[in-house]
Amino acid sequence: MQSLLSSSVLASPCSSGKLAAAASVSAAARISGAAAIAVSRRSAIAGGGRCVAVASSSSSSSAVTTAEAGGAVPATMKAWAYDEYGDGTVLKFKDAVPVPDIADDQVLVRVAAAALNPVDSKRRAGKFKATDSPLPTVPGYDAAGVVVKVGSKVKGLKVGDEVYGNINEKALEGPKQSGSLAEYTAVEEKLVAIKPSNLDFAQAAGLPLAVETAHEGLERAGLSAGKSVLVLGGAGGVGSLAIQLAKQVFGAAKVAATASTPKLELLKSLGADLAIDYTKENFDQLPDKYDVVFDAVGQGEKAVKVVKEGGSVVVLTGAVPPPGFRFVVTSDGSVLEKLNPYLESGKVKPLVDPKGPFAFSQVVEAFSYLDAGRATGKEFVYILLNR
Ligand SMILES: NC(=O)c1ccc[n+]([C@@H]2O[C@H](COP(=O)([O-])OP(=O)(O)OC[C@H]3O[C@@H](n4cnc5c(N)ncnc54)[C@H](OP(=O)(O)O)[C@@H]3O)[C@@H](O)[C@H]2O)c1
C-alpha cells in the first residue's frame, strides 16, 4: 500500500500521463475551440513537468505586471455554473460568465487549479439553500493560482503572487456566487496565503478547506502534546490531514484512525500508530479510550463512547450527543501561513486521490466521484487556462 502513498502523496500529479491524455482527448471533445487550443498547449506543458500554464509569472519577482501574470483581465471567462439545485446534471459549462469585480480588500486570482469538497455537492443539492447566495452559482471553495489584480486596501499581496486558499470565509453563510471552478475568482486577502514553494498548483488547491477544517477541529478539541486522538475517516480529505497535523503540529502521542481494508497502510504511512479496519472491527467495542475523537464520518453516537473522561469529541457532520460538539470551518489564510513550513519541509503532505486529477472539462465526472464518498484524500479538478 506504500505504492498508494507514493503515487498519491509524493508523485506530482502534473507529470501524470493520465492528465495529459485526459486533457487532450476529453477536454478537446467537450469544450469550445478556444479552450481546446488551451488544452493542447497545457498538455505539452504537463509533459515537461510544469503543472499549469503560468510559467511566465513568478512570486519572487516584484516587477511582475498584470500582463506578465496572465495578460489583461477579460470581461468574461469560462466557468462551470448551475442555475438550479439538483444532481450533477444541473452543472453547465459556460464560456462567457462575467469575471467577478474585486472589493477593496480582495484580490483577483487567475485560477490554475481548483478542488472539490463534499460541501460543493451538498450545496449543489440545495442542502444549504436557506443560507446560500442567490443562484446562479459558480461552485468551488478551494483554489490555487496567480494574483492578477489587487484591491486598494490589499497590503501583503501583489500581482504575480502565487496563492492558495478557501475563498469562502464561512462555508455555509452566503458562500460566494462566483466560486473557484472558473478561470478567475475574487477572494479577500485574509483568506489566502502564498502557495508553498514545493507544491504545484494542484497539490496546493486540494488543501485549504480540508486542512483548515482539520486544524480548527483539533484546536477546538484542545489536542495538545502527549495526548491521544482517534480520527474517524482517516483516509478522506480532512481525515488524512487530521492524522498528519495531530502528529506533526499538535504533537499527539498516539494517533488511531479508521478506514476500510485497502486504506489501512495508507493511514500508517500518514503517521497513524493504529489503523482500525471499520469493515472488520467496531472501534467502540475496542478497549482503547482517547483524549480527543475527531469524527469526519458522522458517527457521533459511537464516538462519544470512546472518549476519556474530560476529553473532547469534535464532529464535522451528523448529530452528536454531549460532550461532543460540531462546528463549521472558518477560512483563514493565517492558518495556511502557519502550516506552510510543515508543508514545505514535507512533514505534512497533500494527499492526491489516485483517481484524479480531473481536467476542467471533467467537472461533472469529478462531482460524480465526490458524490460516491469514496475519495482518498482530495480530488483535483484542473482549471485549464485559455492561453
Ligand atoms: N463541518 C465542517 O466545517 C466540515 C468541513 C469539511 C468537511 N466536512 C464534512 O466532513 C465529512 C468528510 O469530509 P472529507 O472532505 O474528508 O470527505 P471525503 O474526502 O469525501 O471522505 C471520503 C472518505 O471517507 C471514508 N469513509 C467513508 N465511510 C467511512 C466509515 N464508516 N469509516 C471510516 N471512513 C469512512 C472513505 O474511506 P473508505 O473508502 O475506506 O470508506 C473515504 O476515504 C463530509 O461529510 C464533509 O461534508 C465538514
Mean pLDDT, range 258-272, rounded to an integer: 97
Cα of 328 vs centre of ligand 1, distance in Å, is 14
Instruction: List every span in the chain annotated with CATH 3.40.50.720.
Output: 210-326
CATH of domain 53-209+332-342+351-382: 3.90.180.10
Mean pLDDT, range 253-276, rounded to an integer: 97
Closest CA to 152 of 190, 99, 193, 102: 102
Residue pair 205/181 in contact by the 8 Å Cβ criterion = no
pLDDT tier, 324 (very low <50, low <70, confident <90, very high otherwise): very high
Q: Looking at residue 31, what is its pLDDT?
A: 26
Q: Looking at residue 370, what is its pLDDT?
A: 87
Q: Which of 37-46, 239-248, 249-258, 283-292 comes out lowest in average pLDDT? A: 37-46
Helix (H) or strand (E) holding 347: none
Residue pair 43/179 in contact by the 8 Å Cβ criterion = no
Determine if ligand 1 sits within 6 Å of the CB of residue 333. Answer: no
Minimum CA distance residue for ligand 1 atom 23: 236
Judge whether residue 136 has pLDDT over 50: yes
Cα of 192 vs centre of ligand 1, distance in Å, is 24
Determine if ligand 1 sits within 6 Å of the CB of residue 352. Answer: no
pLDDT tier, 28 (very low <50, low <70, confident <90, very high otherwise): very low
Mean pLDDT, range 295-305, rounded to an integer: 98
Query: What are the CA-CA distances from residue 27 to residues 55, 203, 265, 363 (Å)?
Result: 21, 21, 35, 11
Q: Which residue has the higher pLDDT, 141 or 38?
A: 141
Q: Looking at residue 384, what is its pLDDT?
A: 55
Q: Looking at residue 63, what is its pLDDT?
A: 32
Q: Looking at residue 69, what is its pLDDT?
A: 53
Instruction: Give the number of the atom of ligand 1 that is nearest the alpha carbon of residue 118.
Output: 47
Other CB atoms within 10 Å distance of the CB of residue 122: 15
Q: Which residue has the higher pLDDT, 32 or 107?
A: 107
- Give the mutation target among 4, 117, 266 for probing the ligand 1 site: most ligand atoms within 8 A of CB: 117
Cα of 18 vs centre of ligand 1, distance in Å, is 26
Determine if ligand 1 sits within 6 Å of the CB of residue 233. Answer: yes
**Domain 210-326: homologous superfamily in CATH:** NAD(P)-binding Rossmann-like Domain (3.40.50.720)
Residue 322's contacts (CB-CB under 8 Å, 6 or more residues apart) are 304
Determine if ligand 1 sits within 6 Å of the CB of residue 160. Answer: no
The pLDDT tens digits of the residues spanning 218-249 come to 999 999 999 999 999 999 999 999 999 999 99
Judge whether residue 208 has pLDDT over 70: yes
* pTM recorded for the entire structure: 0.84
Determine if ligand 1 sits within 6 Å of the CB of residue 367. Answer: no
- Give the mutation target among 123, 282, 317 for probing the ligand 1 site: most ligand atoms within 8 A of CB: 317
Mean pLDDT, range 253-277, rounded to an integer: 97
What share of the chain has pLDDT > 70, as a percent? Answer: 79
Minimum CA distance residue for ligand 1 atom 4: 316
Mean pLDDT, range 37-47, rounded to an integer: 25
Q: Looking at residue 124, what is its pLDDT?
A: 97
Q: Looking at residue 77, what is its pLDDT?
A: 96
Cα of 102 vs centre of ligand 1, distance in Å, is 33
Q: Looking at residue 7, what is its pLDDT?
A: 29
Q: Looking at residue 176, what is its pLDDT?
A: 98
Instruction: Give the number of the atom of ligand 1 that is nearest the alpha carbon of residue 233.
Output: 34
Q: Looking at residue 313, what is its pLDDT?
A: 98
Determine if ligand 1 sits within 6 Å of the CB of residue 36. Answer: no
Residue pair 359/23 in contact by the 8 Å Cβ criterion = yes
Judge whether residue 113 has pLDDT over 70: yes
Judge whether residue 60 has pLDDT over 50: no
Instruction: List every span in the chain annotated with CATH 3.90.180.10.
Output: 53-209+332-342+351-382
Q: Which of 32-46, 92-106, 233-247 comes out lowest in average pLDDT? A: 32-46
Cα of 72 vs centre of ligand 1, distance in Å, is 40
Determine if ligand 1 sits within 6 Å of the CB of residue 166. Answer: no
Q: Looking at residue 372, what is its pLDDT?
A: 83
Q: Looking at residue 26, what is its pLDDT?
A: 29
The pLDDT tens digits of the residues spanning 334-382 come to 999 999 999 999 999 988 777 878 899 999 999 998 888 777 776 666 6
Q: Looking at residue 351, what is its pLDDT?
A: 84
C-alpha cell, 116: 472539490
Judge whether residue 121 has pLDDT over 70: yes
Q: Looking at residue 41, what is its pLDDT?
A: 25
> DSSP string covering 250-310, please?
S--SEEEEEE-GGGHHHHHHTT-SEEEETTT--GGGSS--EEEEEESSS-HHHHGGGEEEE
Average pLDDT of the chain to the nearest whole number: 83
